[in-house]
Amino acid sequence: MSAIVETTETEPPRTSGQDVPAGTGSPAVCLSRGALSIGQLLAVFGFCLLFLYHNYLPLFHSDLWGHVAYGDWILTHGRLPDEDPFAELAAGVPVIDTAWLSQVLLALAGRGPDAEWLAHLFALTVLVASVVLARAACERSGQWGVGVACSALAFGIAWSRHAVQRPEMFGQLCFAALLWLVVRSGLMDGRVRGNQPVSGGEGGWLWHAAVFLLFMAWANLHGSFIVGLAVLAVLALGRAIDRLIACRSLSATVCHAEVQRGLTALELAVLGACCNPYGFDLVLRTLVFPVHPNLAAVMEWFPLEMASLEGIPMALSWILTTGVFRHSRRRVSPSEVGLLLLFNAAVCLRVRMIAWYAPVLAIVLAPHLAEIAARFGLWERCQWAWLVRKSHRLTLMAVLLVWMTFVFSPISRPVLGGDPRPATQVFSHQTPLGATNWLLQHPPEGLVYAPQWWGDWLVWRGPQGLRVMATTNVIHLLPSQVWQDYLAIATADRGWEDRLDRYRINTVVVSRELQSCLVRAVEQATGWTVVYEDSVSVIAVRSTRPQTESGNVTAPLAASGTTAPEGNRP
């Protein structure tokens, strides 16, 4: 069995850029504990900027509010919903709530009058996830500078997803924690301490318990736990390929300790993921969810296009990966190849997977970047000495920097006091604040058409009992015919008025920026009257009541086998 390489008295002096191992008895080292270098101070500054930026990000107008509404419903009723409680057109379709725990956390943060607590929770989650990812890359590369750079690299590649305020943020935190755990355990080979490779790792019962507990929490927070299971499966397969090449015996490969550890971790992860209100059904439903036909019209479920916000960083990441592997003298392991192939394919099929590809790429490249930097002597050059010279004064400056970040961020207001920010700064510019106020003063009758990305907001902040045609969280629950009718109305397609008649929709809320065709159609329609408009939204109501053959909303649902419920839904 391989062992961790330890430093001896005959080891040559360390360079200024290498970490000094803990436990040394040198008085100089003891005095330097707690001291920071300018480079580390700059890293602290970067994380402070990251938190400050995300804390000031306006709350998005889309499915965040649907999750808050779900969490509030769960807290109010003390149970999980059997069907969607807000969209009557999805009545009778069973719901598997893959993010119920995240929704409860979001509801606890957003229940009060101060919605900024949602922004605080979001900023803290993003910060912790970035720090954990940096720590994992540092563990694997042996250089804190490389770790911070890899965390920044992941943020840059997944820039198009950086403002996603939904349960996915908790999934990102769990994913970063998983990467840190697999690096610590040695499942992902290539870990470095100083300039020396380290084999093995911390894979005892505590580590296995941590994997189990992580997936138990993750499966209740967000459906992305499937991504974590895929990572563990690839790592176990990579270890098996390594051992099979080394010993050329299938039985010896299966019985090898490292392969067994990988398989045990995967088994514990699956077992932990099954600890949820739905059991193994949650795993199966999450696996088949991406192929739901209704998702084909949702942008984040589109295949990758190179001329897009995701395509450009993906192309740059491929160029970077090629250059790093070309110049690195480290062996590229089967696990690294498997992870890159899996997540590149995932992004090509669904652009939203770039949020999971970016951390994996950062962890894979970390030891190769450290090897290139060490070989070219970046840490030993005299002009870099000022970056690694440590001082307690710099530590005090870092503390001051953290305090100033707290003072100037919105999260300090509950502690230090101050006036709350206006709603136009707290909520994104596309949030229909004016339309919501009008609806509160004039509660609509019957079903309301609104863009599905506003449906979540209107359900949460609109009149009590408001009935909307669709929300973001109900897309996969709507019958196919209902979803196609919604899309036809959204684009003012031929027959859009007939579809509104069919569903007996008397109120239409339209986005000026994203639904200009529907705005023009509503303004020109003879049976509709615009009663409210501003720079964000338009509201139109019927001037005459529709007449349908059936006389109720069940007509368009008959073909799909779905019936509408009686009365108002909670």
| pLDDT tens digit sequence for 341-392 | 999 999 999 999 999 999 999 999 999 999 998 887 655 554 566 667 788 8
Which whole number is the average pLDDT over 81-108? 94
- Which DSSP string do the residues of 406-467 spell out, in sequence order? HHHSGGGHHHH--PPPPHHHHB-TTS-HHHHHHHHHSPPPSEEE--HHHHHHHHHHSSTT--
Q: Which of 104, 31, 39 is nearest to 70 (CA)?
A: 104
Residue 535 Cα distances to 299, 427, 468, 516, 524, angstroms = 24, 15, 22, 12, 18
d(CA 179, CA 137): 9
Question: pLDDT above 90 covers what percent of the chain?
Answer: 70
- Tell me which residue has tokens 């003063």: 441
**Per-residue confidence (pLDDT) for residue 381, from 0 to 100:** 56
**Per-residue confidence (pLDDT) for residue 256, from 0 to 100:** 86
Q: How confident is the model at residue 32 (pLDDT cuts 50, 70, 90)?
A: low
**Per-residue confidence (pLDDT) for residue 212, from 0 to 100:** 97
- Which DSSP string do the residues of 270-329 spell out, in sequence order? HHHHT-STTTHHHHHHHHHGGG-GGGGGSGGGSPP-SSSTTHHHHHHHHHHHHHHHHH--
Q: What angle do CA 529, 535, 540 make, to 5 degrees?
A: 15
Residue 470 has pLDDT above 80, yes or no: yes
Q: Which domains does the chain have, with CATH numbers?
A: 36-59+115-391 (no CATH), 433-560 (3.40.50)
Q: How confident is the model at residue 33 (pLDDT cuts 50, 70, 90)?
A: confident
Which 3 state secondary structure label does DSSP give 145?
A: helix
**Per-residue confidence (pLDDT) for residue 241, from 0 to 100:** 92
d(CA 336, CA 117): 39
H/E segment holding residue 532: strand 528-533
pTM: 0.87
Q: Which two tokens stand for residue 519?
A: 């705005």
**Per-residue confidence (pLDDT) for residue 527, from 0 to 100:** 87
**Per-residue confidence (pLDDT) for residue 206, from 0 to 100:** 92
Q: Which of 490, 489, 486, 487 is nearest to 514 (CA)?
A: 490
Q: Which of 118, 100, 102 is nearest to 110 (CA)?
A: 118
* Average pLDDT score, the chain: 86
**Per-residue confidence (pLDDT) for residue 387, from 0 to 100:** 65
**Per-residue confidence (pLDDT) for residue 558, from 0 to 100:** 40
Question: Torsions phi, psi of 447, nearest 5?
Answer: -75, 145
Which whole number is the average pLDDT over 479-495? 94
How many CB atoms sit inside 10 A of residue 541's CB? 16
**Per-residue confidence (pLDDT) for residue 565, from 0 to 100:** 34
**Per-residue confidence (pLDDT) for residue 191, from 0 to 100:** 58
Residue 278 has pLDDT above 50, yes or no: yes
Q: Which of 142, 161, 78, 80 is nearest to 359 (CA)?
A: 161
- Tell me which residue has tokens 């100083």: 194
Write the pLDDT tens digit of every residue in 520-557. Answer: 999 999 889 999 999 999 999 998 765 544 444 444 44
Residue 53 has pLDDT above 60, yes or no: yes
Q: How confident is the model at residue 506 (pLDDT cuts 50, 70, 90)?
A: very high
Q: Are 369 and 141 in contact (CB under 8 A)?
A: yes
**Per-residue confidence (pLDDT) for residue 172, from 0 to 100:** 97
H/E segment holding residue 258: helix 257-273
- Which DSSP string do the residues of 200-230 spell out, in sequence order? ----SHHHHHHHHHHHHHHHHH-TTHHHHHH
Residues facing residue 197 across a β-bridge: 192
Residue 28 has pLDDT above 50, yes or no: no
Q: Which residues, at least 6 apart from 174, have a Cβ–Cβ distance to it below 8 Å?
A: 214, 217, 218, 221, 222, 224, 225, 228
